Structures are given as structure tokens and as C-alpha cells.
A and B are shown apart, each in its own frame.
Chain A
Amino acid sequence: MAINEENIFQILADQAPIMVFIANKEAEVTYWSRNWLDFTGLRKEEALGKAWADIIHPEDLDNLASVYLKSVETRSSYSSESRVRRYDGQYRYILFKGGPRYDANGEYAGNIGSGVDIHDRKMVEKKFKQQLEKQVEKRTEELRRSNELLKVANEELTSFAYLASHDLQEPLRKIRTFGSMVLEDDANLSDRQKSHLQKIEKSAGHLQQLVSDLMAYSRTETLDESLEETDIEFLIGEVLDELAEDISKKNAEIIVEGGCRATVVPFYIKQVANNLISNSLKFTTPDKRPILTISIEKGPIKNPINGFQKGQECLYLRFKDNGIGFRPEFGGRIFGIFQRLNEKNKFAGTGVGLAIVKKIVVLHNGQIFASGRKDEGAQFEIYIPQE
């Protein structure tokens, strides 16, 4: 067939591998390309007008109609995925795309558009989505189950640790009470016996402290306490009051800088402050007056911290002393339970205090960093994220 101005469109439309149509303002189709007729199995006369509505899938009809009408109203282009019934009765996904057309006078005359069979692609997409959803569901269920197990295990451990340490207190108390009764019978004891009994009493005392600290450690598992907006400087002040006697005994100077309100569990943060301040009072060098600086700040973090969002708003606490410090290579171990970095007899302690501090910080979704140098003091920095 010879190509001229009139039939070029016809030839193109019929040759193109997509379905082409021309419709008027009333959504009546006035032309369908060859492909469309082949696809639907309709004859030209059957397909024109509003016949297209019969072969669109009922669930997609409303949407397609409204999208089309909107494009007529606004004279803009449109795009819509709809299911169309093929000659063999199967509905297939077709992507319809069209836009306004104007007649020879420049008047708006309706729409011209095309349809592409995207059914296979759509099926693959659907299947992929289903698989993904199934995977997510499976993973969620797995997570839920392992969370349950963890919770149960944790509860068992907590109550076991709590009960065990609770039950351990009884015989310990009796050992010490009987011990003190014997020691009271001063006149009838030889010096050797007195000395041995005192050692027994001392060991029992240490054991009791250990059990008590373990109880405190196991108790911080439970979150019965709740978060409150708290004046941090005031909280630290309360702890300093409670430790007033020890502070004066050591002639320590405590400097508190800054202050703010933050959302924390006040009871737990008091414990953190208590443990850290007590440590600073304990691990002092005899030649220097102990000085402890406590800094309280709130704001976005300046340096990147692994695990926190960039610029995350945090409560920042810093406890810095000038005591015996610790060798930097031990910085990682310092929070381990029962970890003590000094010789057993030099400083009293059970090695549980810092483990409790770390646990509380973690419970607040925070992080704690310890740094120090031997004989040059220790520094503890705590970051607790705030909403």
C-alpha cells in the first residue's frame, strides 16, 4: 500500500505492536487499531462506541472511567492499568495511556491513546510481592517466637537470680550474727581465736555485700520503674547528699557543671550516679585531694556514635575524677560483672557496681564509654537518647 498523508496514521497504527484508539469527549471510541480488534476478537463495528465498557473487568471499570473523564475535564494526559477480556475469555492487564487531541480548528475533540499488554509483567510482580510478604511474615513470626523465648528465659533467670540471692542472705546473716555473738564473749577467747573469728566475719561480710550487689544487678532487669521527665542536677544533688559522709571523710571536691531536664528512670539514674561517685571516692590516690567533676548536658551529639542517628538528641553525663584510673587496654573489661582491675586486697569492692551502671544505661537505650590512664583518673561518659 502506498504511504501518503492520509493513510500514514492508519499504517502506523496497524503495524505498531500496541493497541491504538481514538475517542471523543463522550468516551465513545471512534477508531481502534488492528491489534485491538485482534486482541478482543471483536469486529470493527462491534468495538466502536461504548462497547469497550463491556470488555473491561468490572472491578476496574469505575476507575478507568473516572480517570478518563478527569482527563477530558482537565484536558490532560492519563494512565491506567485495567484488565481487559481477550478473545479467549481471559482477562489480561492492559496499560492504557492517552492524552487530548484537537481537531482541525484547534478545538478539543477528545482523546487519543494506546494500550499495552502488561499482563505477564504484572503476574511476575504479583508473585514477587506475594513471596516477599510471605518471607516478611515468616521472619516476623520467627522474631516473635524468639522474643517470647528470650522473655521467658530472661524471666526465669531474673527470678532465679533474685530468689537465689535472696535465699543466700538468710544463712549469711546467721553466720554473721552467731559470729558476732561469739566475738562478744571477749574474755573467753584467745587472741588467735578472736583473729580467726574476725576473718570469718570479714569474709561473710564481703559475701553478703556481693549477694546484695547481685540482687541489685538482677533487679535492674525488670522495668517496673518508668520513665519520667527529671531535673538531672537535682537528682545528682540527692545522690551527693546521700554520700555526704563519705565525701567529707575523703575530703573530696565535687564539681557539678551544667544541668537540664531529661527523660529517664530517676531511681536507676540515681543508682548510676551513686555507683560512679562511690567508685571515684574509693579509687583515690593518697597524695592528691580527690576531685570529681560531673557534667550534665543535653543536645544533639556532635561526634558520630555507632548505633545512634546523626545528631541524635541525648542526655550527656560525664563523671571525671583524678584517682587511680585504669590502664586504657582494660577499658573494655571494666563493665564486666565481677571484673575488678585492682588487686583484691587494695580496694574493697565486689566488681558488680559498674556492671549495674552499664546495664541501666543499656536499658535506657544509651551507651557508656570509659576512658582513663593509670594514676591519672578515670572518665565515664554516658549518652542517653531523648525523643
Chain B
Amino acid sequence: MVLDFFLYLHYHFKQMSNRTLNIILADDDEDDRFFFEEALSELPHEFELATAVDGMDLIELLRNSNPIPDLIFLDLNMPRKNGVETLTEIMSDPMFINAKVVIYSTSYDLALSKRLFELGARHYIQKPSSFDKLQSSIFRAIEAVTQSANAARNFENFLISG
């Protein structure tokens, strides 16, 4: 099954552009940051990954990033500033108006997810419990955002399930 996935990946990546993708992950959990980094490293593509440990850290990282990253993966349950607050701040700042944010969270609540969609997030990944499902979710999010960057957002496609 994992082999099939990689074959699929190889085929698809040929279609994607070859430039390096800049990605920021904001997650307060060390293990989740490890999983994410591992998942990216096994994808046959070039990524520049920067990590933030919570919302405040992310905002600061963003302010010092020029240009802003291609993709921001945002955890919801973080101390100091949680995901919702951070997303609100990012989306209301003219400097980050084009930021593409993918929510990356343990739980899923329909009402909250609708709110996050309204705030401007592109997609929602509910962290799966197996590594290869995690990889495929991250990959699909990246693909969805980079391929259809300017397409109208649709709540039906908001949640990416493993």
C-alpha cells in the first residue's frame, strides 16, 4: 500500500512545478513537528520547512519572512495564542492577505471548522493515526493549494481526510 502511494506521488510530482516550496508549520507539540518533518522529507520534492511553537511565534516568523511562505500549516490547540486567534490575526493583516493556511488539528468539530473556513483557511486536516495517512493528507493539502491556488474555495472540499 505504501509502495502504491509513492508511485502515485512520483507520477503526480512530475506535474507539479519544480521550485522549492516554502512551508511553515505552527504546532506546539514536538512529536507532531517531528511527524510533519518526517512526512515532508519522504515526499520526493524540495521543501523549505520552518517551524513555530505557537501562534505568537508564528506571527513573528511571518513578519520576518520575505516573501511569505507558500503554505502555512496551523495547529489549533496551542498555548499563548491558539489557532483560531492566530488565523484571525493573519487574515486581517494586509501584509498576509495572500497567506494560504491549512488547519492541522487533532480534533474536528463541524461548527468550528465552518468558522475557520469563513475566516479564510484553505483546508482542514484532522491528524490521522497512521504515518502513511498523515503523509497522504499533507501531500493532498499541498497539491490542492498549489494546483488550484486561485480557484474559489468550497466548504465541501475543506476537510481533507486521510
Contacts and interface: CB of A to CB of B under 8 A. Distances in A.
Nearest to B31: A174
B132 interface: yes
A293 B125 CA distance: 38
Contacts of B128: 173, 177
B152 interface: no
Nearest to A205: B129
Nearest to A173: B129
Given A181-B38, A184-B2, A173 B106 contact: yes
Nearest to A181: B131
A172 B38 contact: no
A181 B130 CA distance: 8
Interface-centre pick from A173, A174, A177, A181 (highest chain B CB count, 10 A): A177
Contacts of B129: 172-173, 176-177, 180, 205, 208
A184 B6 CA distance: 13
A166 B107 contact: yes
A299 B35 CA distance: 56
A169 B107 contact: yes
B134 interface: yes
A184 B106 contact: no
A287 interface: no
Interface string A134-168: 00000000000000000000000000000000100
A177 B35 contact: yes
Interface string A170-210: 10111011101100100000000000000000000100100
A184 B130 CA distance: 10
Contacts of A174: 31-32
Interface in B11-49: 29, 31-32, 35, 38
B122 interface: no
B127 interface: yes
A170 B38 contact: no
Nearest to A224: B111
Contact of A180 (B29, B31, B32, B130): B130
Interface-centre pick from B31, B127, B130 (highest chain A CB count, 10 A): B130
A62 B106 CA distance: 76
A182 to B, nearest CB: 9
A176 B107 contact: no
Interface in B49-70: none
A176 B130 contact: yes
B131 A173 contact: no
Interface string A67-109: 0000000000000000000000000000000000000000000
Contacts of A173: 106, 127-129
Contacts of A184: 2, 131-132
B130 A170 contact: no
A178 B38 CA distance: 11
Contacts of A180: 129-132
Contacts of A172: 129
Nearest to A186: B2
Given A177-B35, A181-B38, A184-B2, A170 B106 contact: yes
Contacts of B32: 174
Interface string B87-110: 000000000000000000011000
Contacts of B132: 180, 184
Contacts of B38: 181
A176 B134 CA distance: 11
Nearest to A201: B130
A177 B131 contact: yes
B45 to A, nearest CB: 20
B161 to A, nearest CB: 14
Contacts of B130: 176-177, 180
Interface string B73-97: 0000000000000000000000000
Given A176-B130, A177-B35, A177-B128, 6 more contacts: A166-B107, A169-B107, A173-B127, A180-B129, A180-B130, A181-B131
Interface of A: 166, 169-170, 172-174, 176-178, 180-181, 184, 205, 208
Q: Which 10 pairs across A and B sit closest by C-beta, in order of nearness?
A: A176-B129, A180-B130, A180-B131, A181-B131, A173-B129, A174-B31, A177-B131, A170-B106, A169-B106, A177-B35
27 contacts: A166-B107, A169-B107, A170-B29, A170-B106, A172-B129, A173-B106, A173-B127, A173-B128, A173-B129, A174-B31, A174-B32, A176-B129, A176-B130, A177-B128, A177-B129, A177-B130, A177-B131, A177-B134, A178-B31, A180-B130, A180-B132, A181-B38, A181-B131, A184-B2, A184-B132, A205-B129, A208-B129
